[in-house]
A and B are shown apart, each in its own frame.
Chain A
Amino acid sequence: MIFPSGSGAVPGPDLPQTDEKVTIMQREKSLTRSNGAGWGFALPGFGLMVAFIILPFFFAIWFSLTNQRLISPNPTQFVGLSNYTQLLSVGTILLEPERDENGATLRDDDGEIAYPRLRNFTRNNPDYPKIQGMREWFSWQTGPNDELKRVILAKDVVFMRALKNTFTFVIIVAPLQAGLALLLALLINQRLRGINIYRAIYFMPVVISIVVVAFLWRLIYDGNNGLLNNLLGAISFGVIEPVDWLGQTSTALGAIIGMSIWQAVGFHMVIWLSGLQTISPTLYEAAELEGSSKWQTFRYVTWPGLRNTAVLILIVITMQAFGLFAQVDVMTNGGPLDSTQTIVFQAIERGYGKQDISGGSAISVLLFLIVLSISLIQRYLTRERS
């Protein structure tokens, strides 16, 4: 839409900025509008993806709605959403403490209030049909004197823990790894002699097989005389005691996080680097001429030029973080006590380990929906504001 500005003469200085931009955009649009070429160029690649990724994924969705087992002589049956309800069902119950004949609350040996065992309610108990087969997920004290216990139950507690762990992992790793990778990329992007060697070395962890990485990090994290414990002990002159990093529920996930960031940061450093290359050096020269500091240069020259790369990195890191599997598989097997359980690990264990392809597919579909929602939110938040 072009707003009329008088008799059609050269636009005066009071022409609104938006019109000019709209005009340029329109001109660009018509310049680049080309359905034939557009589809023609994209179709080979996209076609392959449809055939070999999207189509099988629809198969997987189909599997998740059935009771398909990996190998079975029984015909497959459609079961609707039962796989999903089995994964996501939650329930709740309010427990009263056990009381003696006078009505006083009983306490156990540790001084904790004694509650009736959950198994009395959740197994073979027709009075509580909704929570049959569920297990405790978490609970808190409530009621007068904090004597009552509100318990939240879940049908598949392991899956719930996997969800929680995976989200924790993503929230910590995504910004941390992206930030560290950017720092490294900036560091590496200098013109120093031999910088190529450093660039190669920083990429090494990505190249080394997970077998070697797992072997070494097990040694580092070993509870008895692992390298990390030795280091901490030496630095603190023996104040810090050795910790069984992989064997304790409180530290296992953190240990995996550390190792994962170390291993993948080079991967993203390389992507940041390629983005840095697109920033025209004249901009840097101009900034230097104006005497801007390092930080100012970064903020006003480098960072704006990295917009698209930043979006790419954020999306990719998030998606990869949600797919955490290999490290858990070789280091902790999901343990101890599900503290390193992840969504993809559960999907694979269900699908291939327990041969329940329908369950594994259901988990994958849930993962897909979760990551899709998050990436949509991300793209909305980082959209181009025109």
Chain B
Amino acid sequence: MAIQADNHRLRIAVRYLVLTLIAALFIFPLIFMLMSSLKPSQQLLVDSGSLRAFLPVGDISFDNYVMAFKRAPVGLFVINSLLVTGTTVILSLFLCSLAGFSIAILDWRGKAFVLSAILATLTVPFETIAVPLLLMASKLPWVGMEGFEFGWLNSYRVQIIPFVADGLTIFLFVQYFRDLPKDLIEAARVEGASWWTVYAKVLMPLSGPIIATAAILKFLVMYNQYLWPLMVVQEEGYRPVLVGLQYFFQLNTAWGEIMAYLSMITVPVLVFYLFLQRAFIASIASTGVKG
């Protein structure tokens, strides 16, 4: 028995070793970024050539953070990005899961065509449609505070609405719903549930993992937007974080401040991801092969 237990412990240890080695491979940029944000730009560059890049050595301080706030309205940019990103993610999860449910579960005329069209859009890089979209956005109507007005520039809606529905999110839900056991749906329908109930009360509660996946992926895409906000927002008040990053690329680039700024704007993403982690684990039951 003892030998078996030892073997068992050894195997666990080996697993942790493998996991940790791989982890080191993936985490070093984060460590570099955080450490560099504490160092003055000159030292940061010199340190980059060696292992010192990952150690908090030398002239450590929070000066870069203070200077970053002086150079750019960091808080404003983060709030803008979070507002745009949060709204888009919520709307997207809702509308895309609806469409995904419809395509995966229901049967209707024209479904194959719609799915094909949706998948086809995955091949279109954003830059291709950026200019036509810009021309559209400058002319679209909206009912705002002052009534009917044209043009969506310099607003939050122009950064949100065009991106609510996207092919990847819909496809994620389609494939996930296709994999869920059909008998649950059948049972609900037999009891006379409407399709809405099937969607909202049966399938969505089981969709923790895919909701979390779709949410984090969408969050990343929206949070890291650069080209589109640059084109449609001219007022500083609506700028998101990556446009703000450009404030730091002056003729004498202040790398320390850049690292500090990037560290700050990465925090919301990390928090959101860690928060969603629990949803990655299935709500049916935990799976996994027992070690």
Contact = CB atoms under 8 A, between A and B. Distances in A.
B188 to A, nearest CB: 11
Contacts, number: 285
Nearest to B281: A277
Contacts of B164: 45, 48
Contact of A344 (B119, B127, B262, B290): B127
Given A319-B122, A364-B125, 15 more contacts: A34-B195, A38-B111, A44-B165, A45-B98, A48-B162, A55-B132, A60-B131, A187-B19, A189-B289, A191-B291, A202-B26, A212-B262, A297-B289, A323-B125, A372-B120
A204 interface: yes
A311 B111 CA distance: 19
Contact of B289 (A40, A278, A284, A316): A284
A315 B121 CA distance: 12
12 contacts: A41-B99, A44-B99, A56-B129, A63-B132, A189-B287, A207-B270, A208-B29, A212-B32, A219-B53, A284-B289, A316-B122, A367-B125
Interface string B11-53: 0100110111011011111101100000000000000110001
Contact of B165 (A49, A207, A277, A311): A49
B199 interface: yes
A375 B123 contact: yes
Nearest to B214: A274
Interface string A328-367: 0000000000000000100110011000010011001001
Contact of A367 (B30, B123, B186): B123
B184 to A, nearest CB: 12
Contacts of B98: 41-42, 44-45
Nearest to B111: A38
Contacts of A207: 220, 266, 269-270, 273
Nearest to B129: A56
Contacts of B162: 48, 52-53
Contacts of B33: 208, 212
A190 B122 contact: no
Contacts of A41: 98-99, 101-102, 106, 195, 199
Interface of A is mostly: helix
A368 B125 CA distance: 9
A202 B220 contact: no
Contact of A32 (B105, B161, B170, B220): B105
Contact of A308 (B15, B22, B178, B199): B178
Contacts of A288: 290
Interface residues of A, number: 98
Given A204-B30, A207-B266, A45 B170 contact: yes
B273 A56 contact: no
A48 B95 contact: yes
A209 B186 contact: no
Contact of A204 (B27, B108, B119, B285): B27
Contacts of A213: 29
B271 to A, nearest CB: 11
Nearest to A375: B119
Contacts of A279: 287
Contacts of B289: 189-190, 284, 294, 297
Contacts of B103: 42
A364 B128 contact: yes
Contacts of B220: 206-207
A37 B102 contact: yes
A190 B128 contact: no
Interface string A49-92: 10011111101100100000010000000000000000000000
B12 A192 contact: yes
B168 A352 contact: no
Q: Which of B18, B129, B286: most chain A CB closer than 10 A?
A: B129
B282 interface: yes
B280 interface: yes
A46 B165 contact: yes
A97 interface: no
8 nearest A-B residue pairs (beta carbon): A38-B108, A59-B132, A45-B99, A56-B129, A41-B102, A364-B128, A56-B132, A371-B123
Contacts of B27: 201, 204
B168 A316 contact: yes
A286 interface: no
Contacts of A198: 19-20, 22-23
B124 A368 contact: yes
A216 B98 CA distance: 41
A275 interface: yes
Given A37-B102, A37-B195, A208-B266, A351 B127 contact: yes
